[in-house]
């Protein structure tokens, strides 16, 4: 009897484990998306494209310089933060404060342009960049996990904790929250909303870069990856609560688990369909998500 | 004089363009290549006119109108291939299915802030994309669904020459223009614009916000599905990417955006301009050997229009007066 139960439970346990590991990186990707919305009310449809560029940073480090993609993480953060700051200045600055139709369209246009630049520069083929942990597996009792995914999960958790600490524990974090709550009141007490917004946006984009670089150690990249990752970020953020950092992280874990369970119980080609349905259900019945505080 | 010139612009010029396009198929030097480009433009314009209702007049960013285009096309095609129903009948089933989907989507998302509606429409089109790719037996999967070819047949709404589709497309554009004008002048249009400009103020003035948004969304979805039927008959095939892909969703927005959101003439001007632009870039890209360059152009145009010409061509013309 026990053996039968084990035989039934092991696949479920395996799906849960894989889901959580994949989901951690989804979470890291989503917290940047959530941060830009929470602070500036910017829905950055081009966020996924920054993840995609972060993946290419890993590929280039590994193929052109022979450097392990994991060592390229700080560089990826820096480059994407700079790119994010430039985007903020050129495109998003004028839209701060309201997620209007124009802002969404501008972000979509920007995303397409970024995707096409990647296609011209890197080509349309899928590329990957295994790290020093590539191809290794760790046995955990009856379950197994890829070492690269475990490392990626750990990096994602550490980054999420660091961002939470930054927002809750530092003077800068306090100013960000002040600007997010009431931009005019924040300026009245002497904060420069422009400076704070641009740094927050750069941080959000830098996180996308990190998420991309750790993801490419186990998941191949092509120029359309950015767009195809966006729905996950949107769903994780909505389920976790738009604007909430830890909510988005847990939303990411949840998405990973749902995908893996669907793949196991139903069909891996349709692993995202339950997520789309869940998104609709959350929007209809719990638009603030599990951890969202802001209502409007 | 000035007034007469303006009246010429309002009435005579559109009629003149209409007459020229209608005569084109009869002219000896106009080949099928040119006619097909005109049909593409007319379909593109009518899809843009439909999107303009919900987004331009209603202010709701639907990124999921590909769903209705796809349902109109797939349902029309499937009913013809499997049951032999002529598209004259089948397309209305497609419209009904689209209305049902729009009712569920709208019912779940339209009470929330606009951003949730936009996000939900992305999810719904991607869900349809995955389903259409997966259920290969029904939809043809990635390769898409091709109509059974019947040659020239009015009953099957098929024709080897694009000429009949020029007239069908013209009917769509003229009727959709009329619907847009009618909505703009009606109580519904007034309420939709009130909701678009300030939801709270509209509600305070007694507008039923949810009902208004829903009506606009349903009208727009039905118009898109109907044009989807025409799309299917003209191209004789439809696939998940061209129905539910994000690229298609963005294309659907360009005519109205470039021409002028929320105006009746906007999608027509924008769509005509876009087709010319896309023919030129496709020609140029083929020379240079680039692929997928039309998406780059669409992205750039989208970005530039939103940043520097948010009122489109119509807005620019009005400013000059």
Please check whether residue A8 lies inside any domain of the structure.
Answer: no
- Cβ-nearest to A109 among B112, B134, B302: B302
Over residues A6-45, the pLDDT tens digits come to 777 888 888 899 999 999 999 999 999 999 988 888 889 8
pLDDT at position B9 is 67
Residue listed under structure tokens 């920007």:
A110
Residue listed under structure tokens 């829903």:
B214
pLDDT at B54 over 90: yes
Please check whether residue A175 lies inside any domain of the structure.
Answer: yes
Please check whether residue B5 lies inside any domain of the structure.
Answer: no
In this structure, what token pair is assigned to residue B218? Answer: 């349903």
What CA–CA distances, in Å, run from A160 to A26, A167, B167? 11, 11, 59
* Contact between chains at A273 and B124 (C-beta distance less than 8 A): no
Nearest to B121 by CA among B257, B221, B227: B221
CB contacts of A112 in chain B (<8 Å) are 250, 295-296, 298-300, 302
Please check whether residue A274 lies inside any domain of the structure.
Answer: yes
CA distance A43 to chain B (A): 8
pLDDT at A73 over 80: yes
- Cβ-nearest to B61 among A101, A111, A231: A101
pLDDT at position A242 is 81
Q: Which domain holds residue B104?
A: 13-245
Greatest Cα pair distance in chain A: 69
Q: In what helix (H) or strand (E) does residue B320 lie, and over which residues does it extend?
A: helix B312-320
CA distance A239 to chain B (A): 12
How big is the A-B interface in CB pairs under 8 Å? 122
Query: Nearest residue on chain A to B128, judged by CA atoms?
Result: A273
For chain A, how many structural domains are there in total?
1
Please check whether residue B262 lies inside any domain of the structure.
Answer: no
Please check whether residue B7 lies inside any domain of the structure.
Answer: no
- Cβ-nearest to A108 among B109, B123, B302: B302
Query: Nearest residue on chain A to B130, judged by CA atoms?
Result: A270
pLDDT at position A248 is 92
CB contacts of A106 in chain B (<8 Å) are 302-303, 306-307
pLDDT at A296 over 60: no
CB contacts of A109 in chain B (<8 Å) are 298-304, 306
| CA end-to-end span of chain B | 14
For chain B, how many structural domains are there in total?
1
Name which of A92, A100, A108 to mutate to probe chain B: the one with the most chain B Cβ atoms within 10 A of its Cβ. A108
Please check whether residue A211 lies inside any domain of the structure.
Answer: yes
Please check whether residue A247 lies inside any domain of the structure.
Answer: yes
Please check whether residue A73 lies inside any domain of the structure.
Answer: yes
Over residues B217-237, the pLDDT tens digits come to 999 999 999 999 999 999 988
Residue listed under structure tokens 């830890």:
A246
What CA–CA distances, in Å, run from B225 to B46, B98, B131, B218, B219? 11, 7, 18, 11, 10
- Cβ-nearest to B134 among A230, A269, A283: A269
What CA–CA distances, in Å, run from B95 to A40, B53, B154, B173, B246? 39, 16, 21, 18, 21
Classify residue B5 by burial, with Cβ atoms within 10 Å: 0-12, 13-18, 19+: exposed
Residue listed under structure tokens 């830098």:
A206
Please check whether residue B116 lies inside any domain of the structure.
Answer: yes
Task: State pTM to two decimals.
Answer: 0.86
pLDDT at A1 over 70: no
Judged by a CB distance cut-off of 8 A, whether residue A86 touches chain B is no
pLDDT at position A292 is 61
CB contacts of B290 in chain A (<8 Å) are 120
pLDDT at A88 over 70: yes
Please check whether residue A198 lies inside any domain of the structure.
Answer: yes
- Highest mean pLDDT (candidates A183-192, B43-52, B246-255, B274-283): B43-52
Of the listed ranges A9-13, B178-182, B288-292, the one predicted with least confidence: B288-292
Please check whether residue B226 lies inside any domain of the structure.
Answer: yes
Of the listed ranges A106-115, A206-215, A281-290, B69-78, the one predicted with least confidence: A281-290
Q: Which domain holds residue A238?
A: 27-285
**Mean predicted confidence (pLDDT) in A89-94:** 90
Q: What are phi and psi of B30, to 5 degrees?
A: -90, 110
pLDDT at position A295 is 40
Please check whether residue A10 lies inside any domain of the structure.
Answer: no
Over residues A217-230, the pLDDT tens digits come to 988 999 888 888 88
Name which of A113, A283, A287 to mutate to probe chain B: the one with the most chain B Cβ atoms within 10 A of its Cβ. A283
In this structure, what token pair is assigned to residue A152? Answer: 């990626």
* Contact between chains at B298 and A112 (C-beta distance less than 8 A): yes
pLDDT at B207 over 60: yes
* Contact between chains at A272 and B118 (C-beta distance less than 8 A): no
Mean pLDDT for chain A overall: 88
* Contact between chains at A280 and B301 (C-beta distance less than 8 A): no
Judged by a CB distance cut-off of 8 A, whether residue A164 touches chain B is no
């Amino acid at each position: 009897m026990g053996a039968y139960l084990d035989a039934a439970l092991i696949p479920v346990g395996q799906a849960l484990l894989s889901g959580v590991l994949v989901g951690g990186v989804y979470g890291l990707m989503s917290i940047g998306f959530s941060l830009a919305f929470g602070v500036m009310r910017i829905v950055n449809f081009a966020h996924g494209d920054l993840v995609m560029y972060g993946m290419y940073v890993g590929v280039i480090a590994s193929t052109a310089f022979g450097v392990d993609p994991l060592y390229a993480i700080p560089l990826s953060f820096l480059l994407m933060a700079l790119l994010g700051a430039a985007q903020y200045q050129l495109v998003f600055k004028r839209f701060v404060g309201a997620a209007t139709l124009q802002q969404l369209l501008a972000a979509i246009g920007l995303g397409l342009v970024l995707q096409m630049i990647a296609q011209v520069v890197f080509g349309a083929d899928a590329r990957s960049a295994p790290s020093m942990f590539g191809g290794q597996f760790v046995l955990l009792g009856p379950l197994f996990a890829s070492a690269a995914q475990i490392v990626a999960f750990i990096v994602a958790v550490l980054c999420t904790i660091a961002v939470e600490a930054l927002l809750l524990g530092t003077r800068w974090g306090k100013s960000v929250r002040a600007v997010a709550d009431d931009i005019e009141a924040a300026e009245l007490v002497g904060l420069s909303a422009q400076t704070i917004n641009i740094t927050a946006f750069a941080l959000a984009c830098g996180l996308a870069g990190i998420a991309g670089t750790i993801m490419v150690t186990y998941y191949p990249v092509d120029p359309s990856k950015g767009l195809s990752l966006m729905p996950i970020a949107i769903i994780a953020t909505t389920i976790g609560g738009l604007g909430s950092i830890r909510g988005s992280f847990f939303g990411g874990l949840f998405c990973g688990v749902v995908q893996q369970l669907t793949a196991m119980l139903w069909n891996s080609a349709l692993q995202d369909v339950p997520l789309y349905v869940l998104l609709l259900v959350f929007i209809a019945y719990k638009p603030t998500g599990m951890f969202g505080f802001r209502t409007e | 004089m000035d007034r007469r010139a303006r009246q010429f612009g309002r009435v005579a010029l559109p009629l003149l363009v209409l007459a020229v396009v209608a005569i084109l198929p009869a002219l000896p030097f106009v080949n099928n290549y040119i006619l097909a480009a005109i049909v593409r433009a007319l379909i593109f314009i009518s899809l843009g006119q439909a999107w303009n209702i919900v987004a331009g007049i209603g202010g709701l960013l639907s990124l999921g109108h590909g769903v209705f285009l796809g349902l109109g096309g797939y349902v029309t095609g499937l009913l013809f291939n499997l049951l032999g129903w002529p598209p004259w009948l089948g397309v209305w089933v497609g419209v009904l299915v689209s209305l049902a989907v729009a009712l569920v989507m709208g019912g779940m998302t339209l009470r929330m802030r606009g951003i949730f509606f936009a996000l939900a429409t992305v999810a719904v089109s991607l869900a349809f994309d995955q389903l259409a790719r997966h259920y290969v037996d029904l939809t043809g999967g990635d390769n898409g669904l091709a109509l059974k070819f019947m040659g020239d047949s009015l009953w099957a709404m098929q024709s080897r020459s694009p000429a009949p589709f020029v007239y069908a497309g013209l009917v769509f554009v003229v009727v959709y223009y009329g619907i847009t004008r009618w909505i703009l002048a009606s109580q519904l249009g007034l309420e939709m614009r009130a909701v678009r400009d300030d939801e709270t103020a509209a509600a305070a003035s007694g507008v039923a916000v949810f009902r208004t948004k829903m009506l606009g969304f349903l009208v727009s979805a039905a118009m898109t599905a109907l044009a989807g039927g025409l799309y299917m008959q003209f191209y004789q095939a439809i696939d998940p990417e061209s129905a539910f892909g994000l690229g298609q969703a963005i294309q659907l927005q360009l005519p109205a955006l470039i021409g002028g959101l929320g105006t009746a003439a906007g999608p027509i001007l924008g769509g005509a301009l876009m087709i010319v632009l896309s023919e030129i870039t496709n020609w140029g890209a083929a020379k240079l050997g680039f692929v997928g360059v039309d998406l780059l152009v669409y992205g750039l145009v989208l970005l530039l229009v939103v940043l520097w010409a948010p009122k489109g061509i119509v807005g620019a013309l009005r400013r000059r007066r």
